[in-house]
Structure formats: C-alpha cells, structure tokens
Structure 1
Amino acid sequence: MDDLLAGPADAAAGLAVHGADAVDPSARAALVARDVPARLAAQDPTLWGAEATARTRLGWLDTHCRSRELLPQLAELTAELGDLDHVVLAGPGGVTSAAGVIADCLGRPLTVLDTADPGPVRAALADRPARTVLVLAGRDLDRTTDAHLRAFRQSWHDAGPEAARHLVVVTPPGSTLEALADELGAVLIPADPQVDGPWSALAAVGLVPAALAGAPVTELLDEAAALAGALDRERDNPGLALGAALAGAAEHGRTTVALVPDGTGLDGLRHWAGALLAAATGGRLLPVPAEYPDAPGVGGPGVLTIALGGALGAGVGPGVAADVAVNGPLGAQFLTWEYAAATAAVALRVDPFAEPVGVDDDVPAPADGPPSSVDGAVEVYAPAGAPGDLAGALRWLTDGLAPDEHLAVTAYLDRRVDAAVAGLRPLLARVTGRPVTFGWGPRHPGHPDGRARHLQITGAVTDDLEVPGRPYTFAELQAAQAAGDRRALTGRERPVLRLHLTERAAGVAQLLDTAGRTRT
C-alpha cells in the first residue's frame, strides 16, 4: 500500500486516485480516443448508444450546482423543525442509501427505514414520536413505504402532534408522492427529475434528510464543485482514472471489485459505491464491500481491490495489497464514483441508467410447503436435488459454485438486532475462495444476479406489527417480499437455498457455526 500511495496519482480538489493506470495502461487512452471526457462533461447521451436512457438521466453531473438553490429552503426548514430531533428516512433502498451514507460518514443521527421487518419499524415508532420528522423519498409510494407512512401517521395520531408538520416529502414534480404530499398538507421539496437511485447523492433526495439530521450539506456541494472542473481533462481527472481502471480490469477478467475501507474514515461509502457500480454496469462488475481491510475475498485472481477513505495515509491491512486507492472528501467522492461508473459503462457498452425490473411482493405470501428438515433453530428449505439437512444443503450450495459464479447472501432480518448474520459473508468467502456478497432484504432490483447461487435467510417474528388500514402485517409484507425474490430468481433458473430461523439469535449463531465448519 505504501508503494501504491508513493506512485503517480490523478488528483484534483483534494481527492486522489492512485494506481489506476497500472491496472490497464491502455484503458484511459481508449476512453480519450472516444473523446469521453469532453463528451461526458457536455452531457452527451449518445456515449451509451442511441437508444440509451441517458438522455434524461445525466443531471448528476451538475446537480451539485442546482442543489444550491435548496440551501435557503433547507436552512429555513431545519430552523422551523429544530425541535424534531429524531429524523427518519423511508423509501426504497436505492433512493435512501446516499443520505444514510452521508449521515454515517459524518456522524449524524439518521434512522433509515428501507425494510418491512417489524423490529426496526417498531423501534423507530417508539423513539420520541412527538419529536420525529418522517422524510419520504422517491417517485412512487411503494407497498413498504406506504406501510411506514401509515404506521407513523397512526403513531402521531396516538401521541397527539399535528401530523402534517412531522412529514416531509422529497419527490420529482408530477409523481404520485407529490399528489399525496398535497393531500396530506406535508412539506414538499421537489427532487431533481434528472437523477435517480444512487446517482442522487448530491440532489435533494440525499441532501434533505441529511440536512435535517445536521449534516453540513453546503460543504458537500463545495467539495463536488471544486472537483467538477477536472472532469473534462485527460489527466488529473480522478473520475476518468477510476473509470478506466474499472473498465480495464473487467476487460481482463477482473470482474469482482472488492471495496476495502483503508482506516481513514468514510467507511460507509463502500456500500453506496457498490450499489452504484452494480446498477451502472448491468452485472459486468460484481462489487463486494469488505468488512475490514484483510477480509476474505479481498484479493486474488479475478479481483480488483480498491481501498477508499477520507485521507491518504493508512494501509489496507497486513498482507493485503490494494490495486487502486481513492482518497478525498465525501462530496468529491460522490461525484468521482458517479463519473467513474458512467465512464466504465461506456467502455463496457452498458446502459448505466436502464430502469431495473422490480419483483413481485403480493401480500400475503404463498406457502412454501413443509421444510426439508429442521436442525435446531433452523428450518431448511432445500430445492429439488439438494440435501435436506443444514450442513449438507450449505455444502451443496458452496460446492456447486462454478468458476464464473458467486454466492449472494440476502437476509430478511433486523439489521440492528440480527447484525451478526453479516458475518456469513467472510466465513463463506474463506470456505469457497469465491466472491460472496451480503445484503439485507428486500434485494435491490438494480443489483446484478450475474451468475450467482443464492442463500436467502428469513426469520420468525415474535412481535408483529399491524399496517394500519391494510389487511396484512409488516411480517406478512416482509415474507411476501422474500417470496417474490425467490420466484424471480428461480424464474431465471438460479439456485436458491432458503434457511428460516425459528429463533433468530440462536439461529444466527447456529448458521455462523455451521458455515465456519463447512468445507468445499
């Protein structure tokens, strides 16, 4: 790592990308030959083909300029709602991820709800209901966000505060959420219609909840603006350098991108960057956010390892060598990664802004039938042809990984209380020697399946929560989402093993123990 940091870098506005040219010395030249820096700076949608959806999706390039128009309104809103010190953000995961990263990286308290699990919903409802402001973000009111809104409105009704004052809606003009905000008398802040999903980090969707949580959003915009002037250059253009490294690695078969925290801050950024790369490259790149510097799966054949953080200095752990290092302030990081993802998509001939296909979450969920076996606190639902016992089913799943496949673990649990289950990722990566991803359900539609085998983990709910005005509960909604994901995956002929925890704490401990003893 020290050698990497001592070598040449593309640097601008306090952000540096080290090691990019060494990944593939010809990749940058190929992008420059296509005049990518100038065309992207000019927001040329034909970079991704004549039929690409980029024509209405390039606002992220200068949204940091337009977002300055929000600052007076945000200052007024934060002052007016200063007594509401519990900020909750609800919306689809792809929309809420950036605000969550801002709050996490800058140490600001923000509760993000992108799950139907009753545990975190109940905890958010119980935390200072009279001092809670709920931010709804997105274009439409999906079933989960509708459930969140109904639960909070019931909570406010019970606690006595005026509901309209406690609700802020961030949505593009003309959306169904805009009509709902008008109906409820909520505070309405227009979202930038030219950006969506993880690309909206520096737009209203990312900035409004972060500002209400106390984040210095003006500084983020300043950091992005300082970098923007470098994005039409052929050299000292961090976004171009990083994009060329990603594209060059993919062209040489290094399609797994390990995102490693380097110990200098901004640890949560790797999750947002991973979601962005997954959505932008259409499955050509597989991002794997690593838990710690020398986590299993960080290096090896077929892997591009990128260390990222807020400042130059620290390495990435003993025995681990990063291929690329990206260091700099958060606002500049957002713009750099967006530019890099879009640039890599040019080289890979992928439309980075294609709309993802949703999954079916009809309620109630259909029954799966009896489990294949029950082992302690774990029910095993093995597909046809797989062993029915827990150890055998896990071994079948990991043994079956082909050289071009990865293992995707998705947990439909409470990410706070059941956080230990995320330890399955490094355990299974060590066992298999293959890329392993971990995420919390519902699966984000933009995340690529690629060539994956899937482990889905669900859990029993002992304290369910009604969805006011709906004929189903939060637990039933979550079960329906998990079932919808299984149907979508099996419809694409991907192997899926479901493990259901009849008692969550015991089941998680049992899974970790069994996975640690699994051998391929």
Structure 2
Amino acid sequence: MSSLGVVASGAAADAIAAKVPELVEAGFAGKLFAQDATLWGPDAESESAIRLSWVGLPRSSRPLIGEIAALRDQLKAEGVDRVVLCGMGGSSLAPEVICATDDVPLVVLDSSQPDMVRDAITDLDRTVVVVSSKSGSTVETDSQRRAFQAAFSEAGIDPTARIVVVTDPGSPLDEQSRKDGYRVINADPNVGGRYSALTAFGLVPSGLAGADIEALLDDAEAVSDVLSADDDANPGLRLGAAMAGTDPLRDKLVIVDDGSGIVGFADWAEQLIAESTGKQGTGILPVVVGTDDDPEVAQPAADVTVVHLVADSDDDEPADEPVHADQSTVDVSGPLGAQLLLWEVAVAAAGRLLGINPFDQPDVESAKKAARALLDKGIGATDEPAATDGAVEIRALGGDWLGDAKTVPAAIDALLAQLDPKTGYVAIMAYLDRLADADLAQTRPVVARHTGRPTTFGWGPRFLHSTGQFHKGGPATGVYLQVTTQPREDLAIPGREFTFGDFIASQAAGDAQVLAEHNRPVLQLHLTDHDAGLAQVRDALEALAPAEAAT
C-alpha cells in the first residue's frame, strides 16, 4: 500500500494550520478530482478546462502498459536495447527520474547544444529513438528528430522502424508522422506538459527502457483517494499550503534529497513548481541543492522553506521542535508514483493560494518568440562585447550596471552587487553540454555561500522550459549569469537553414533579451575557446569568498 508523508515545522506548519482548512471548506480537492475548471478564477477557466485530465491518469493510462511491453519485446527481439529520448521539459524530466530510480539506462537528449546532440547519435544498430512533443512543433525536438532520421538513413536503417513518436492527437507531428509511416502513440491532450508524467510522455520511454511502469501507476492509484479527499490530513493540500501559504510568503523552496531513494526527483519538481507558479509578479522559486551542507539548507534565509525528500516513515509528527523559531521545513516521503501525483495536487493548490493560473506559461512563449526572431534575422547581429578577457567575451544587459569592469571576476562582482540581500536570488544559466561540462554546477553552492542568497543552476535550453518562466514572470528579484560557448564542432540540421549552433545561440540571446526587457540584470559570458574560457569562468566563481569573509 502506497503512503505519503508531509511533516512540517515552523512557518510551514503555521501555513498548513491556516490554509488547509480554507481549502477543505472550499472543497478544493474534491472539485479538483472532479476536474472543476473554476477553481482558479474566471481568467484561468478556459485553460484549466483542457488541462485537468491528469487527476485520472493512474487509471486511464493502464492500456499503455501492454502496448509498451509488446513494443519493447519486439525491439528486444531485433537486438534493439538502447533507448534515446528526444524531448524538452515535461517530455523529458519525468522519464529521466523514473528510469534513474528504477536503475535502467535511458539517454535523454534535451538540448540543442551541437556537441551533446552529436554524442547521442551513436550505436544506431541497437538504438530506438522516442520523439516526444506535446504540441508537435517544439523546434528542439524537431531538430533532434531530423538529425536522427538522417543518421539512420545514412546507416542503412529504416527510420520508421526505429523512431517512435509520442504527441497529442491531431498535432502537426502526429499527422505527418502517421503519413510517413512512423509508429505514433498519442498522449491525453487534456494534460499539460509538466503534468504529463503518468501519460504516454512519461510512460513510453520509461517502459521501453525497462522501468516498471505498472508499479508506478499502482503507487499513484493507491493514493488517489487520499489526495482527492477534502480533509485536513490530505497530504497534497498540506504540501501546497506549506509551499504557498506562509505569511509573509517564503517564495524560495529549497529542495534537498535526504535518502528518499528517488533519483533526481527535485529536477522534475523544479519545472512543475517554477513554470506553474512563476507569473504575474509572484510565484515559488524551486532551488535544487545537493546536500544538507549546502548554504541554503545549513543557513536558510528568512524567505526560504526547506523541503527534505526522505525515506518512507510511519511517523506523522516532527521528531523535535524547530532549532530556530523562524525556520520553515517540510519532510516529504512516499514512493515515486505517489509523489508525482502528490506534487501535482500540491502545485495546483499553491496556484489557488497564490491567485494565479497554474496551467499556462506565457513567458516561456515570449522567449521562444525572441529566439525565432533572432534566427530569422541571423545570429551574426550580436552586439559587440563590452570587454574581452582572455577566452571570454563579456556583455551586460538589463541596465547600466557593469561600470568599468573589464575582467571576468570584476564583471561577476558587478552583477552580484545588483542582488537584493533580503529578497534576491542568483540564477546561473549554462548553455553548455550538461554531461561533458557537469563540473560547472559545483560552483552553485560557492555563489550561494558568497552572496548568502538562494542560487539556482540551470542547463540551457533545458531550464527555459522550467525556471525560465519564473525568471521572467515571477518577482523581479533575480540576477542572471549566462554562460554560452563556441561549440567544439557545429552540426547541421537536415532541412533547415540554421545549424544546432545557430539555434542554441538564438535561444540564449532570446532568453537574455526578454530578461533585459523585464529589467532583469544579465551578465553574458561567452567562451570563444571552450576549454580555456570555461576554466576562466570556473576559477572566477570558485574564488568567491564566503559572505562572512567577503569585503
């Protein structure tokens, strides 16, 4: 029997005591599971009306189990045992967590960085590619599909036998793929991308890779009744209140894994929370950290709630009183399938408490439009750098704040000087190969320790479908460090006039442009020589002194 635990202390417990009875009195949980589109107000109603089928997925997705198992057996008999997933945001994050937790291999290609794309196009004789796009028009995914299609053909392999398409019925990708003879599996069209973990988007690649998707659905179905109950003990309502009901609002949600056994869950939750809540000048910023020693956990700021993902426990009360009277913590436990549904309910409840529509993402679309416009104009029209330091070009957007900084360390200092010491956050945005350049992420806690403020780290363009919405639509309290690079070797996109290198450059430039239009300070550090420039940036960040020692 699946169980869920949500145990809070401090400000989070106060929020639960204050807000859960309001949600219960409004019948929020029951109405949510009845797919009542009026829960978030009239402005959200038209969108909500076509986005609530996720509440029934633990049952409605059952027919996929047999279909996926049959396809997996067929592919295995043909010697195909390597699964590559081409998808972005909601199409890739859930399968990554499901497969990592089940310890089955899945190659996730959620980037347009040419070096990363090239590295994924290998071992074609034993590879099946799942192309996932809800809209069927996601440019990253379409570009990846084109690259694999050409590679299979060049290798003498029929692409229609090795590419499986997951998309909404009637999408451009659905219609063209069926016409061209590809296998297509449709997802429920009345589920938004970030709520799609238990649809075909989450289940097809995971099941083909060998994950136990039936157990996943079983665990989710086992908690459906408790999550739909209008009861003070409802863990979804409790988590939603802890997240969005603190007074004053603690709008930074630090998530740390404390032995939950679920691998990478915070990365999935990050998108769900940030993209759902970060709009209209409010929202909850998820901050994914590595350990309890990271500064956001060890010394949480006054605007932070810390969520510990813990192993299952029968204990439903805090073990001790809070060490600090002003702290805010939540312990969350439960198996993966149950937690996927739990957090979706919690974020829907948080949207109600914040007074926003948790199902749209207006600022994600604005960055996409800016990127497309830059592609149309040609990427060559980039502004001259304010300065060049070794293998790094320095540019500043979003105000006249760079001053006379001419070096990478001085430019970073100038950016961090714009940070509000009480409400601000730092976002490091790396448009690099997230596998080959993974070490850069280790600078995140160094920056947090130096500033004393929550710091996020996102790989571009992956984070554009996640925290990118909060950056532009949430509170104007962030400062943004963007790292881009000259790829080691560019890669053509078959049938397109632009390359993968052009595309990721336009995504980075478009993101920075929209941030600047929202008066957010952005420091762009462009590596003209990848290895040398990356070393410069890493050294500059690692040299930052802790806040108590900073002068």
Matched to 1:406, the amino acid is Y
- Determine the C-alpha separation between the residues in 2 that align with 1:489 and 1:300: 25
1:334 maps onto 2:326 in alignment: no
Aligned residue for 1:54?
48
Is contact 1:133-1:168 (8 Å) kept?
yes
Matched to 1:444, the amino acid is L
Which digits, 9 at most, give the CA deviation of each residue in 1:277-307, with x for residues without a partner?
A: 1122134111101122221223221100000
Identify which range, 504-513 or 282-291, moves more after superposition.
504-513
Is contact 1:310-1:328 (8 Å) kept?
yes
- Determine the C-alpha separation between the residues in 1 that align with 2:58 and 2:139: 31
Identify which range, 322-331 or 91-100, moves more after superposition.
91-100
Cα drift, residue 309 of structure 1: 3.7
Is contact 1:418-1:505 (8 Å) kept?
no
Specify the SS of the correspondent of 2:464: coil
Identify which range, 220-229 or 258-267, moves more after superposition.
258-267
Matched to 2:65, the amino acid is L
1:135-284 aligned at under 5 Å gives the runs: 135-138=130-133, 139-231=135-227, 232-249=229-246, 251-282=247-278, 283-284=282-283
1:346 maps onto 2:352 in alignment: yes
Aligned residue for 1:14?
3
1:510 to 536, 540, 545: 536
1:421 maps onto 2:440 in alignment: yes
Matched to 1:331, the amino acid is G
Is contact 1:424-1:512 (8 Å) kept?
yes
Aligned residue for 1:483?
509
Aligned residue for 1:81?
75
Identify which range, 387-396 or 19-28, moves more after superposition.
19-28
Aligned residue for 2:383?
369
1:96-107 aligned at under 5 Å gives the runs: 96-107=92-103
- Determine the C-alpha separation between the residues in 2 that align with 1:269 and 1:470: 35
Is contact 1:140-1:177 (8 Å) kept?
yes
TM-score computed with the length of structure 1 as normaliser = 0.92
Cα drift, residue 374 of structure 1: 2.6
Q: Note the aligned Cα RMSD (angstroms).
A: 2.2
Is contact 2:28-2:230 (8 Å) kept?
no
Is contact 2:250-2:302 (8 Å) kept?
yes
- Determine the C-alpha separation between the residues in 1 that align with 2:484 and 2:332: 36
Cα drift, residue 366 of structure 1: 4.1
Is contact 1:460-1:501 (8 Å) kept?
yes
Specify the SS of the correspondent of 2:245: helix
Matched to 1:149, the amino acid is R
- Determine the C-alpha separation between the residues in 2 that align with 1:506 and 1:326: 42
1:71 maps onto 2:65 in alignment: yes
Specify the SS of the correspondent of 1:284: coil
- Determine the C-alpha separation between the residues in 2 that align with 1:455 and 1:259: 21
- Determine the C-alpha separation between the residues in 2 that align with 1:313 and 1:120: 43
Specify the SS of the correspondent of 2:95: helix
Aligned residue for 2:547?
none
Is contact 1:378-1:502 (8 Å) kept?
yes
1:132 maps onto 2:115 in alignment: no
Aligned residue for 1:444?
464
Matched to 2:520, the amino acid is R
Aligned residue for 1:26?
18
1:467 maps onto 2:493 in alignment: yes
Is contact 1:265-1:311 (8 Å) kept?
no
- Determine the C-alpha separation between the residues in 2 that align with 1:482 and 1:218: 39
- Determine the C-alpha separation between the residues in 2 that align with 1:101 and 1:413: 21
Matched to 1:286, the amino acid is L
Which digits, 9 at most, give the CA deviation of each residue in 1:75-134, with x for residues without a partner?
A: 1111111222111111222322111111122212111112111111111112x1122111
Matched to 1:134, the amino acid is V
2:394 to 370, 377, 380: 380
Aligned residue for 1:494?
520
- Determine the C-alpha separation between the residues in 1 that align with 2:82 and 2:19: 47
Is contact 1:15-1:327 (8 Å) kept?
yes
- Determine the C-alpha separation between the residues in 2 that align with 1:295 and 1:367: 40
- Determine the C-alpha separation between the residues in 1 that align with 2:18 and 2:197: 31
Identify which range, 350-359 or 304-313, moves more after superposition.
304-313
- Determine the C-alpha separation between the residues in 2 that align with 1:497 and 1:388: 12
Is contact 2:58-2:198 (8 Å) kept?
yes
1:38 maps onto 2:44 in alignment: no
Specify the SS of the correspondent of 2:283: coil
- Determine the C-alpha separation between the residues in 1 that align with 2:22 and 2:429: 37
- Determine the C-alpha separation between the residues in 1 that align with 2:483 and 2:425: 17
Aligned residue for 1:398?
416
Matched to 1:297, the amino acid is E
Matched to 2:131, the amino acid is L
* Structure 1, gaps ≥5 residues long: 1-11
1:304 maps onto 2:295 in alignment: no
- Determine the C-alpha separation between the residues in 1 that align with 2:535 and 2:249: 36
* Paired positions, count: 505
Cα drift, residue 247 of structure 1: 2.0
Aligned residue for 1:3?
none
TM-score computed with the length of structure 2 as normaliser = 0.87
- Determine the C-alpha separation between the residues in 2 that align with 1:515 and 1:355: 32
Specify the SS of the correspondent of 2:362: coil
Which digits, 9 at most, give the CA deviation of each residue in 1:393-430, with x for residues without a partner?
A: 11111111123322211110000001111123211111
Cα drift, residue 445 of structure 1: 4.6
- Determine the C-alpha separation between the residues in 1 that align with 2:383 and 2:48: 44
- Determine the C-alpha separation between the residues in 1 that align with 2:64 and 2:504: 35
* Structure 2, gaps ≥5 residues long: 545-549
Aligned residue for 2:449?
430
Cα drift, residue 505 of structure 1: 3.3
- Determine the C-alpha separation between the residues in 2 that align with 1:103 and 1:295: 26
In structure 2, relative to structure 1, the CA distance for the partners of 1:385 and 1:336 (3 Å cut) is closer
Cα drift, residue 216 of structure 1: 0.3
Specify the SS of the correspondent of 1:462: coil
Specify the SS of the correspondent of 2:359: coil
- Determine the C-alpha separation between the residues in 1 that align with 2:333 and 2:343: 11
- Determine the C-alpha separation between the residues in 2 that align with 1:406 and 1:97: 24
1:293 maps onto 2:312 in alignment: no
In structure 2, relative to structure 1, the CA distance for the partners of 1:255 and 1:322 (3 Å cut) is closer
Q: Tell me which stretches of 4 or more aligned residues in structure 1 moved more than 6 Å.
A: 319-322
